[in-house]
Amino acid sequence: MEINKKIIELLKRVKEKNPLVHHITNYVTVNDCANITLAIGGSPVMAEDINEVRDMVSLASSLVINIGTLNSKSVQSMLVAGKRANKLKIPVILDPVGAGATSYRTDTAKRILSEVKLAVIRGNLSEIKTLYGVDSKTKGVDSSDSISANGSELKEEKEMAKALASKFNTVVAITGAVDIITDGKTLYCVENGHKIMAKVTGTGCMCTSLIGCYLGAGDNKLLAALAGVVSMGIAGELAYEGLEKNNSGTGTLKVKILDAIYNLSKTEIIERSNINEE
Amino acid sequence: MEINKKIIELLKRVKEKNPLVHHITNYVTVNDCANITLAIGGSPVMAEDINEVRDMVSLASSLVINIGTLNSKSVQSMLVAGKRANKLKIPVILDPVGAGATSYRTDTAKRILSEVKLAVIRGNLSEIKTLYGVDSKTKGVDSSDSISANGSELKEEKEMAKALASKFNTVVAITGAVDIITDGKTLYCVENGHKIMAKVTGTGCMCTSLIGCYLGAGDNKLLAALAGVVSMGIAGELAYEGLEKNNSGTGTLKVKILDAIYNLSKTEIIERSNINEE
Amino acid sequence: MEINKKIIELLKRVKEKNPLVHHITNYVTVNDCANITLAIGGSPVMAEDINEVRDMVSLASSLVINIGTLNSKSVQSMLVAGKRANKLKIPVILDPVGAGATSYRTDTAKRILSEVKLAVIRGNLSEIKTLYGVDSKTKGVDSSDSISANGSELKEEKEMAKALASKFNTVVAITGAVDIITDGKTLYCVENGHKIMAKVTGTGCMCTSLIGCYLGAGDNKLLAALAGVVSMGIAGELAYEGLEKNNSGTGTLKVKILDAIYNLSKTEIIERSNINEE
């Protein structure tokens, strides 16, 4: 079956199954993560207290761990919930927000990676480099590095993604101008989205939540990661095209990204998805 | 006086009095709760540290307790603030988000119910069933149960709501496809709103905040709960009707719900409110 | 150089330098603060755990301290980050949200003022009066006091702002119907904005974030504060004018404020800024 068709099938299953996606996430973009989960057809629940994360994750179809505003309590809950999810075979996705910016973030992301079996890791290039052990210039939670669309650098980045995925038996998704999604063997390059998306906080976090929804609806983690990245990219394009050129800006863009995910159609996926398999 | 007129009078008083509504609430929907409080004419303040909740609630016209992202510290503050509000005769409303999903949420909601005198409890059917002591399938923070629009189930649910209200001398508001609001004697059924509202996070929390505003402006807790539920339902209808059918979705819907509350008029309440008293 | 030109130059520098603005802020308006920082051309990072604030602020161009939902842990982080910023000569701006409402807020704001060297303090009249040591009626986090547009009161308020700025060798920005910005010597009065802005939560916090961006891009703290206040005021005017009169309200207004900051142009600043130097 063609890859587009598989994404469309999985999207349909999200809407049928309405997977409960347990988030332990940051307080900056949490509302957008909840809303994009609802928009695509999932059911979000945010719970991070140590007194309830074991119970809550047991009810969930997937677990999203996002370290955007980590603290010593939430990190403990992430580890406990992650291990419990592993025991129950509930897929876990990690968003290592800002790994590389401070040693606390780097150490925490690496600790989660080593103690919790992850189905997917989604980050920008700096964050993934940091997890891989390469020094990377990180500027706060933004990537200073960006995936170049061609040349030898792109080749290196693909190799790194594959190596990281193979080492941890996971799927690695690096998002940027070009997105790379790989399980260590198959690798997809995606060229969807628009650069203005970087001017709205949480487009990365929202992408992670979408992957969480797809993970909760199927059992192919590579496809789930690809579907999440492609969905977010197409939504960004549609949102950008929906701006009236004179007055609209990034406030409207965020609203329209949620609208686009809510309305995401078979036709849009077929006509817009720009996926290359390697 | 007709019930619509009473709601309109109370809305007017909210705008005149500009009641300060102290929230101890979750970090997922807190921004929307603040904005809807402002939109209807109230003044929101969010404060949850144990060092200041006693002082803050003393300034307030009402207290909203929402357990959406509870933790051991915030629960302590909820209890302290709630008791202080009771002493000062400031009305308290509880939103038992996710009660039934984890024992921590269930126990906390029941503890607040037993230690704090509540003016209103607003929840979905699962949450209210849990408080009443009936086993209910809860899926995260969403209700798996929904109030059926007719038949013997609806009758049972009304009896449960009345019994819970009578037992705790409070007003119980169950929101869903049909809304039930009762003080144990009088019971109102409301059929406003649109099912798409469930696809935006926080429509329940926002309804609770609206009830908090109405509670802060008058002294009839049954009317305040009814006014909040009806206002939210009408806003949802107006927002849904305001979507351009092809491109708009749940991102736009949330924006338009806030717009509709800001502009909520006498005429809209008279023409749209769908209230049956029993 | 004319003051408008200086603001335009500084805005240009924000977009070129893309300053990293470290926020330790409240969870109510944090998403809006991040988005307005991105919209104007800055790069936001929110981090408040004691394990990482020293590292994070070292990477930043400016530090925003906002006490909107303070707690004992975040206050400790504010002090540690503020002192580290001082050592590294990174400018710090304080938003004393709700100072005057509870003694915990008042004491914390005063403690930060005494222990951290501040480049700018931005607050409403009640908050600034509280910091100055004048009793002020504060109603939650809203100002009950408002700067009157003329007469002897306005004169008193200007003297107070100047005295506070001089005493702490800082810039004081009081926002309201009329905005006052002063370093103790030069004083600017700004009459931009629209009263509807008070009906959206976080317009003050967002103004503070804008000042944080300008502080991170230049070395003139008075100009940075003025630029932030004027930018926010113009954005509010444009957003208000962009509302379709019948259906739009405060939900749309917030979206349009972000849009307006994203598109803020030289022409708009020249045509709309209403600045009087004294």
Number of Cβ atoms within 10 Å of the Cβ of B122? 31
Euclidean distance between CA atoms C191 and C230, whole angstroms = 8
Count of domains forming chain C: 1
Round the average pLDDT of chain B to a whole number and report it.
94
Q: Say yes or no for a CB contact (<8 Å) between C38 and A201.
A: yes
CA–CA distance, C277 with C272 (Å, rounded to integer): 16
- For strand B171-174 and strand B120-123, is the pairing parallel, antiparallel, or unpaired? parallel
- Going by C-alpha positions, the residue among B160, B164, B233 that lies closest to residue B195 is B233
CA distance, residue C148 to nearest chain A CA (Å): 32
Which of these, B62, B75, B20, lies nearest to B45 by C-alpha position?
B20
> By the CB < 8 Å criterion, does C259 face chain B?
no
From residue C39, alpha-carbon distances to A82, A140, A194, A220, C56 in Å are 35, 17, 16, 37, 21
C150 vs B: CB within 8 A: no
Question: Which three-class secondary structure state does DSSP give residue A120?
Answer: strand
For chain C, say whether B97 makes contact (Cβ under 8 Å): no
Residue-wise pLDDT for B138-178, tens only, equals: 555 655 566 665 677 889 999 999 999 999 999 999 999 99
DSSP H stretches of helix in A190-265? 203-217, 221-241, 250-263
pLDDT in tens, A208-263: 999 999 999 999 999 999 999 999 999 999 999 999 766 899 999 999 999 999 99
Interface mutation vs chain A, best among B141, B201, B245, most A CBs within 10 Å: B201
For chain B, list the contacting chains (3+ Cβ pairs, <8 Å).
Answer: A, C
The three-class DSSP label of residue C102 is: strand
Residue A125's Cα: distance from chain center in Å?
13
| CA geometry: angle A155, A161, A166, nearest 5 deg | 125
B163-191: buried (b, 16+ CB within 10 Å) or exposed (e) per residue? Answer: ebbeebebbbbbbbebbbbbbbeebbbbe
Write out the H or E segment, with its range, that includes residue B82. Answer: helix B72-87
Residues 6-35 of B with CB under 8 A from A: 26-29, 31-32
CATH of the domain at B15: 3.40.1190.20
- Reported confidence tier of residue C242, pLDDT bands at 50, 70, 90: very high
Closest CA to B202 of A94, C36, A37, C35: A37
Please name the residues in contact with A97: beta carbons below 8 A apart, sequence gap of 6 or more.
Answer: A26, A66, A67, A68, A105, A123, A127, A141, A204, A205
The runs of H, that is alpha helices, within B94-220 are: 103-115, 125-132, 151-168, 203-217
ipTM for the whole complex: 0.95
- Model confidence at C153: pLDDT above 90: no
Closest Cβ opposite residue C259 in set A104, A105, A248: A248
- Banded model confidence at residue A143, pLDDT cuts 50, 70, 90: low
The residue among C207 and B141 whose pLDDT is bigger is C207
Regarding predicted confidence, which is higher, C1 or B2?
Answer: B2
Burial (Cβ within 10 Å: 0-12, 13-18, ≥19) of residue A278: exposed
pLDDT tens digits for range B116-131? 999 999 999 999 999 9
Contacts of B52 in chain C (CB under 8 A): 102-105
Nearest chain C residue (CA) to A201: C35
Q: Say which of B71, B202, B247 has its CB closest to residue A49.
A: B71
Shortest CA gap A256–chain C (Å)? 11
Nearest CA in chain B to A54: B102
A251 touches chain C (CB under 8 A): yes
Task: Decide if B95 contacts B125 (C-beta within 8 A).
Answer: no
Contacts of A258 (CB under 8 A, 6+ apart): A32, A35, A36, A39, B249, B250, B251, B252
User: Which residue of A28, A63, A203, A262 is the best one to mutate when testing the B interface, meaning the one whose CB has the most B CBs within 10 A?
Assistant: A262
* A91-105 average pLDDT score: 97
Point out the residue among C101, C104, C202 whose CB comes nearest to the CB of B59. C101
Whether residues A31 and B202 touch (CB distance < 8 A) is answered with yes
Distance, in angstroms, between B114 CA and closest chain A CA? Answer: 20
Q: Find the residue in A nearest to C33 (Cα).
A: A28
Interface A-B, measured as beta-carbon pairs within 8 A, has a size of 102
Is A55 part of the contact surface with chain B (CB cutoff 8 Å)?
A: yes
pLDDT at A171 over 70: yes
From the CB of residue C158, how many other CB atoms can be counted at a distance below 10 Å?
Answer: 18
Name chain A contacts of C34, Cβ cutoff 8 Å: 28-29, 201-202
Helices within C21-66 (DSSP H only): 30-40, 53-59
- Check if the beta carbon of residue C179 is closer than 8 Å to that of residue C173: yes
Name every chain B residue with its beta carbon within 8 A of the beta carbon of C245.
Answer: none
A37 to chain B: closest CA residue: B199
Three-state secondary-structure class, residue B93: strand
Name the phi and psi angles at B93, rounded to 5. Answer: -120, 135
Interface of C with B in 121-140 (CB under 8 A): 139-140
* Rounded mean pLDDT, C199-213: 98
C160: tokens are 């107070």
Q: Which helix (H) or strand (E) holds A164?
A: helix A151-168
Closest CA to A122 of A176, A175, A160: A175
Query: Sorting pLDDT into bands at 50, 70 and 90, what band is B187?
Result: very high
CB contact under 8 A, B28 and A34: yes
* 8 Å CB contact between A140 and A102: no
Of the candidates C197, C156, C157, the one whose C-alpha atom is nearest the C-alpha of residue C173 is C157
On the question of pLDDT at C149 being above 90, the answer is no
Q: What is the pLDDT of residue B221?
A: 98
Residue in A closest to B201 by C-alpha = A35
Exposed/middle/buried for residue C61 (C-beta within 10 Å: 0-12, 13-18, 19+):
buried
Of the pLDDT bands very low, low, confident and very high (cuts 50, 70, 90), residue A136 is low
DSSP state of C123: E
Which residue in the set A31, A51, A59 is minimally distant from B72, CB to CB?
A51
User: Looking at the predicted structure, is the pLDDT value of residue C219 above 60?
Assistant: yes
CB contact under 8 Å between A139 and C34, yes or no, is no
Query: Residue A27's closest chain C neighbor by CA?
Result: C27
Q: Per-residue pLDDT for C180 more than 80? A: yes
Of residues A276, A265, A193, the one with CA closest to residue A229: A193
Contacts of A257 in chain C (CB under 8 A): none
Neighbour tally for C246: CB within 10 Å: 6
Q: Name B93's bridge partners.
A: B64, B120
Per-residue pLDDT of B46-92, as tens digits, reads: 999 999 999 999 999 999 999 999 999 999 999 999 999 999 999 99
- The answer to whether the CB atoms of C101 and B257 lie below 8 A apart is no
Please tell me whether the overall predicted TM-score, pTM, comes out greater than 0.95 for this model.
Answer: yes
**d(C-alpha B263, C-alpha B11), whole Å:** 11
What's the one-letter identity of residue A67? I
Mean pLDDT, rounded, for A90-106:
97
Mutation for B interface: A14, A20, A22, A31, most B CBs within 10 A: A31
Report chain C's mean pLDDT, rounded to a whole number: 94
Is A252 in CB contact (< 8 Å) with chain C?
Answer: yes
Q: Which residues contact A117 (CB under 8 A, 6 or more apart)?
A: A86, A92, A169, A170
Average pLDDT over residues A2-15: 97
What's the confidence (pLDDT) of residue C151?
72
Q: Which chains touch C (3 or more CB pairs under 8 A)?
A: A, B
* Parent domain of B78: 3-277
Say if CB B139 and CB B106 are below 8 A apart. Answer: no
Strand runs (DSSP E) across chain B, as ranges? 20-24, 43-46, 62-66, 92-95, 120-123, 138-139, 142-143, 171-174, 179-182, 187-190, 275-277
Q: Which of A28, A251, A255 sits opposite C34 (nearest CB)?
A: A28
pLDDT of residue A139: 59
Rounded mean pLDDT of C9-23?
98
CB contact under 8 A, C263 and A251: no
Q: What is the pLDDT of residue B138?
A: 58
SS3 A222: helix
Side by side, the strands of the sheet bearing C43-46 are C43-46, C20-24, C62-66, C92-95, C120-123, C171-174, C179-182, C187-190, C275-277
- Express each pLDDT in A21-57 by its tens digit: 999 999 999 999 999 999 999 999 999 999 999 999 9
pLDDT at B257 over 80: yes
